[in-house]
Amino acid sequence: MRDAVRKGPQDPRTVSLLITYTLSKALAISPLEIMKMPASMVMDFLYIHRNFEELKADTIEQEMKKVKK
């Protein structure tokens, strides 16, 4: 599993587990609720989560640059 996280998953089952884990943690809901969702909704939520995480990382990076000056 560690290699799948670092290098990217190689099989559909691992991809599914990682998506389910990521969204259940991000949305604070049971993994079973993720599995009940339509695939399109899961992908939409994953896309939204990814964008918020990127925004958060960018904000942290900008603040770190301000502190270093």
What is the tens place of the pLDDT at every residue in 3-13?
777 777 788 88
What are the DSSP calls for the chain, one per residue? -HHHHHH---SHHHHHHHHHHHHHHHHT--HHHHHHS-HHHHHHHHHHHHHHHHHHHHHHHHHHHHHH-
pLDDT digits (tens, 9 = 90+) for 20-62: 999 999 999 999 999 999 999 999 999 999 999 999 999 999 9
* Model confidence, pTM: 0.75
